[in-house]
Amino acid sequence: MSMKRTRIALFTVALVTFCLPFGAHSAVPLTKVDPALERRIDALLARMTIEEKVGQLTMFAFGRPTGPARGNATREEQITLIKQGRVGSLIGEGFTIEIPTLTQMALTESRLGIPLLFAMDVLHGYRVIFPTPLAEAAAFDPELAERTAAMSARETAAQGLHWTFAPMIDVGRDARWGRVVEGSGEDPYLNAILGAARVRGFQGAALASEPGRVLATAKHMAAYGAAEAGRDYATVDISESTLNDVYLPPFRAAVDAGVATIMAAFHEIGGVPSSANRALLTGKLRRDWKFRGIVVSDWGSVEELVTHGYARDRRQAAKQALMAGVDIDMCSGTYLTELPKLVRARQVPMRVLNEAVRRVLRIKMGMGLFERPEQVVAAPFDTAAARALAKEAARASMVLLKNKNDLLPLHREAQRTIALVGPFIESRLEHLGAWWADGKADDVISIADAVRKRAGSKTKILQALGTDFRGKNKDIAEAVRIARQADVVVVAAGDPGWNTGENNSKVSLELSLPQRELLAALREVGKPVVLLLMSGGALAIGEQEPFLDAILLTWSSGVEAGEAVAELLFGEHAPSGRLPVTFPRATGQVPIYHARKPSGRPPGTPGGSSYTDSPADPLYPFGHGLTYTRFRYENLTVSPLAAKPGLPIHVSVQLTNEGPRSGTEVVQLYVRDEVASLTRPVKTLRRFTRVALAPGESKQVKFELSDADLGLFLPGGRFVVEPGWFTVFVGPSAAEGQQARFEVGGAQSLSGSILFSNGVMARVGQRQSTFRRTPRL
Ligand code: NOJ
């Protein structure tokens, strides 16, 4: 059979397979070497030209000419390149309708018929938009995160797409950085747990080969959130210990969860841009963690090695990126034009090129793309089910920050007048967050519509904008007028979704000036005020907070935001979200986060670290959130008090709902290593769980810790658990709760440290060669 006929036959098989019940091929997990698959890759590699190999490493934004400095490929040029087998993947928006044609083009018109991967940024829903990842993190619920990711994957796959650039698992500790909204906040553990859950949700158990799953990308490796002054793309300069302890654990968790791809980042760390960081992308990721998937650059970041002043030209940039471990060049076209010359000149070894291509083919073959180049759609996408899940997620994400005199919930049937005010009371688009894929403003239910629908017949609703976000359309007097007639004023204000995200960093976390004026004017009216706070991260509302009666943090919560707000306002459901980021009093406090180091002069002690113009403590601590009932914590116990290596440490606490209503508490467990060879944070989150209790109900909440929860990374990257005293804290936030102590490796039980190396624990006595007692200073 001629090559062309083979390709046509292949495509026919693909179409037939498309209609067959799923299961015609088996998925290959990345964590295992499959010799048969590797032989298949060898055979294909042997037939590929250098240009075809580089093609597998080239991604374009389809139909979007990226400009002379960005790939320089027009739509027509891209089509020619696809037919030549010189493009391996496409990213884009609004091109899904062309996916079948493009697929066929690659299969039947390129020499080897290697299928294309189609990718898009689907972070929290494709068309049915869920709460932003940060908002959803406030639910402290990995199972929910997995379900929303799986639902997003289903809708994404139904468009023919194979790959999403999510989850973002960058720890975000500086609220000025606009991209905090895309991740799970300030805590490494929360980012790790939720990141792994989202990877499972997107990919399923079998590397995106089940119907309705897509490849996930853990991004951006690494420490992108530590940008100087919170400014996007800016320099990062952090210690090795901070990198290992804070920024890398979520990536390790994503790799362990089987993530197929990792994205390198735009920024540099200590003089080395991420897209050329061999220590991270090859040393850490591939050598230490055994990652076998694809590393993709960020958009144009290979070529930007030149702008960084790290590469003298595009050719050197291509060499640096590939040699560092970047497999796919996203949208810079640098690999396309430069790698063939570099390989021919033996400046880049063929072996390195082959390895990168192998990793791309491994994913393509492993997910069954050669047998099934088009996505399989198991069943029509169930929009109603997706919206129901979006509502559940929105409800679970919102955080009741303040509720003076139990102002909330409002009683639906009360004879009263509610004034609805503020820039976001009628909003739709603003609830879609920073990335909304194919989301449409018209799909969103506004707060005003949902509140009107729910308010009982005796409730009168008045409404006035007051001001828009920027004050272009402003009538504060009208808002004051209706507030005077009302019993309660509900204000929707804050930071809209489109003002957050990539390159939307801020020097001020205060509310915009017109919004501050609006709240100040409403304060003078003297009626109770409820603030519905829209945001993509922590805002500095320290000046307004004392005068507000209730604050519900609504974030940007997707298509069902309005419904969720109304349900919580009227008490159909009780809020249960908790802060995944610390709220400062003023912008000048950031970065502020719970896992800070103690310092020699801790804040809050006489002469301790402080400001002249503000208290040092946050307005609201990490983990904070109220509900419509109250919980009591008592009887914290830890056992054994002298922990032994390898044996679990049991922690339990008695939790009682002592309020009048049912409610859900997020019970949080933090640990502190009291003395260590490197100073340790005052608290490190190690466990959490959601507990629902009826009024008067009580429950013993139990946790189990292991050695791995107690360790730290030493210089050189070794992970050790040092003997000594630890404090465990259990409570409703990082600032409250019960505490107890236990000792690891007491004199009689252990003579030294417990050492983990590359994730493998070596107990004392078993691997004496790698064991080293950590010196006490
Ligand atoms: C740039 C962003 O940093 C990254 O997160 C995203 O996935 C790519 N652009 C592709 O859109």
Query: How do residues 509-534 score in pLDDT, each as one tens digit?
Result: 999 999 999 999 999 999 999 999 99
Q: Supply the residue whose CA is at minimum distance from atom 11 of ligand 1.
A: 121
DSSP state of 773: P
Q: Which region, left, alpha or beta, applies to residue 759 given φ > 0 means left and ψ of -120 to 50 means alpha?
A: left
**pLDDT exceeds 80 at position 682:** yes
Categorize the per-residue pLDDT at 8 as very low, low, confident or very high, splitting at 50, 70 and 90: very low
CB 86 within 8 A of CB 336: yes
Rounded to the nearest whole angstrom, what is the distance from the C-alpha of residue 509 to the centroid of ligand 1? 24
Which residues contact residue 208 at a Cβ distance below 8 angstroms, ignoring those fewer than 6 apart? Answer: 27, 153, 162, 163, 202, 214, 215, 216, 260, 367
Rounded to the nearest whole angstrom, what is the distance from the C-alpha of residue 503 to the centroid of ligand 1? 11
Higher pLDDT: 775 or 427? It is 427
Rounded to the nearest whole angstrom, what is the distance from the C-alpha of residue 439 to the centroid of ligand 1? 17
**pLDDT exceeds 50 at position 761:** no
Rounded to the nearest whole angstrom, what is the distance from the C-alpha of residue 376 to the centroid of ligand 1? 26
Q: Supply the residue whose CA is at minimum distance from atom 9 of ligand 1.
A: 299
Rounded to the nearest whole angstrom, what is the distance from the C-alpha of residue 18 to the centroid of ligand 1? 30
Active site residue: 298, 438, 707, 709, which one? 298
89 sits in which H/E element: strand 89-91
Q: What is the pLDDT of residue 47?
A: 98
Rounded to the nearest whole angstrom, what is the distance from the C-alpha of residue 168 to the centroid of ligand 1? 10
* Percent above pLDDT 70 for the chain: 90
Rounded to the nearest whole angstrom, what is the distance from the C-alpha of residue 576 to the centroid of ligand 1? 31
Categorize the per-residue pLDDT at 329 as very low, low, confident or very high, splitting at 50, 70 and 90: very high
Rounded to the nearest whole angstrom, what is the distance from the C-alpha of residue 330 to the centroid of ligand 1? 9
**pLDDT exceeds 90 at position 458:** yes
What is the per-residue pLDDT across 145-202, written as a single tens digit (0 to 9) for each? 999 999 999 999 999 999 999 999 999 999 999 999 999 999 999 999 999 999 999 9
Categorize the per-residue pLDDT at 72 as very low, low, confident or very high, splitting at 50, 70 and 90: low
Higher pLDDT: 435 or 94? It is 435
Categorize the per-residue pLDDT at 456 as very low, low, confident or very high, splitting at 50, 70 and 90: confident
Q: What is the pLDDT of residue 68?
A: 42
Atom of ligand 1 nearest to the CA of 331: 10
Q: How many CB atoms lie within 10 A of CB 157?
A: 26
Site to probe by mutation for ligand 1, drawn from 59, 60, 66, 121 as the one with most ligand atoms within 8 Å of Cβ, is: 121
**pLDDT exceeds 80 at position 376:** no
Q: How far apart are CA 706 and CA 650, in angstroms?
A: 9
Categorize the per-residue pLDDT at 29 as very low, low, confident or very high, splitting at 50, 70 and 90: low
| Residue 298 known to be catalytic | yes
For 274-289, what is the mean pLDDT? 97
Q: Name which of 157-161, 291-295, 411-415, 690-694 the model is least confident about.
A: 411-415
For 532-546, what is the mean pLDDT? 98
Structure tokens at 481: 């007028």
Categorize the per-residue pLDDT at 551 as very low, low, confident or very high, splitting at 50, 70 and 90: very high
Q: Supply the residue whose CA is at minimum distance from atom 7 of ligand 1.
A: 165
Q: Residue 720's beta-bridge partner residues? A: 712, 755
- Average pLDDT in the chain: 90
Q: What is the pLDDT of residue 33?
A: 86
Q: How far apart are CA 560 and CA 104, in angstroms?
A: 38
Q: How far apart are CA 255 and CA 291, in angstroms?
A: 6
**pLDDT exceeds 50 at position 747:** no
Q: Which of 263, 135, 145 shows the shortest CA–CA distance to 199?
A: 145
Which residues contact residue 28 at a Cβ distance below 8 angstroms, ignoring those fewer than 6 apart? Answer: 34, 37, 207, 362, 365, 366
Residue 163 has, within 13 A of its CA and on its CB side, a CA count of: 27
3-state helix, strand, coil in the chain (%, to 5): 35, 20, 45
Categorize the per-residue pLDDT at 95 as very low, low, confident or very high, splitting at 50, 70 and 90: confident
CB 532 within 8 A of CB 492: yes
Cα dist. 606→595, 598, 610, 613, 734 in Å? 21, 14, 10, 17, 22
Q: What is the pLDDT of residue 300?
A: 95
For 397-423, what is the mean pLDDT? 95
Rounded to the nearest whole angstrom, what is the distance from the C-alpha of residue 72 to the centroid of ligand 1? 19
Buried b (16+ CB within 10 A) or exposed e, 665-704: bbbbbbbbbeebbbebbbbbbbbbebeebeeeeeeebebe
Which residues contact residue 58 at a Cβ distance below 8 angstroms, ignoring those fewer than 6 apart? Answer: 81, 86, 87, 88, 89, 328, 329, 333, 335, 336
Rounded to the nearest whole angstrom, what is the distance from the C-alpha of residue 300 to the centroid of ligand 1? 10
Q: Which of 722, 737, 606 shows the shortest CA–CA distance to 675?
A: 722
Categorize the per-residue pLDDT at 380 as very low, low, confident or very high, splitting at 50, 70 and 90: confident
Site to probe by mutation for ligand 1, drawn from 263, 301, 435 as the one with most ligand atoms within 8 Å of Cβ, is: 263
Q: Supply the residue whose CA is at minimum distance from atom 1 of ligand 1.
A: 299
Rounded to the nearest whole angstrom, what is the distance from the C-alpha of residue 736 to the centroid of ligand 1? 38
For 431-438, what is the mean pLDDT? 96
For 559-588, what is the mean pLDDT? 98
Structure tokens at 13: 């098989």
Q: How far apart are CA 144 and CA 471, in angstroms?
A: 37
Q: What is the pLDDT of residue 746?
A: 53
Rounded to the nearest whole angstrom, what is the distance from the C-alpha of residue 223 to the centroid of ligand 1? 15
Categorize the per-residue pLDDT at 615 as very low, low, confident or very high, splitting at 50, 70 and 90: very high
Q: What is the pLDDT of residue 94?
A: 75
Q: Supply the residue whose CA is at minimum distance from atom 3 of ligand 1.
A: 298
Q: Which of 351, 407, 304 shows the shortest CA–CA distance to 70?
A: 304
For 238-247, what is the mean pLDDT? 97
**pLDDT exceeds 70 at position 604:** yes
Rounded to the nearest whole angstrom, what is the distance from the C-alpha of residue 671 to the centroid of ligand 1? 35
Site to probe by mutation for ligand 1, drawn from 118, 165, 219 as the one with most ligand atoms within 8 Å of Cβ, is: 165
Cα dist. 636→265, 686, 724 in Å? 43, 16, 20
CB 137 within 8 A of CB 186: no
Categorize the per-residue pLDDT at 412 as very low, low, confident or very high, splitting at 50, 70 and 90: confident
Q: What is the pLDDT of residue 75?
A: 86
* Percent above pLDDT 90 for the chain: 84
Which residues have any ligand 1 atom within 6 Å of their CB?
A: 121, 165, 219, 298-299, 502
Atom of ligand 1 nearest to the CA of 182: 5
For 250-271, what is the mean pLDDT? 97
Q: What is the pLDDT of residue 415?
A: 81
For 46-67, what is the mean pLDDT? 88
For 695-705, what is the mean pLDDT? 98
Residue-by-residue DSSP string for 688-714: EEEEEE-TT-EEEEEEEE-GGGS-EEP
Q: What is the pLDDT of residue 377?
A: 67
Atom of ligand 1 nearest to the CA of 168: 5
**pLDDT exceeds 80 at position 207:** no
CB 124 within 8 A of CB 147: no
Which runs of E-coded beta strand occur in 394-487?
399-403, 416-421, 459-464
Q: What is the dihedral of CA 601, 607, 613, 619, to 10 degrees?
A: 50
**pLDDT exceeds 90 at position 344:** yes
Q: How far apart are CA 124 and CA 525, in angstroms?
A: 39
Q: What is the dihedral of CA 289, 120, 369, 219, to 10 degrees?
A: 0
Q: What is the pLDDT of residue 766?
A: 27
Atom of ligand 1 nearest to the CA of 166: 7
Residue 566 has, within 13 A of its CA and on its CB side, a CA count of: 21
Q: Supply the residue whose CA is at minimum distance from atom 10 of ligand 1.
A: 299
Amino acid at 690: R
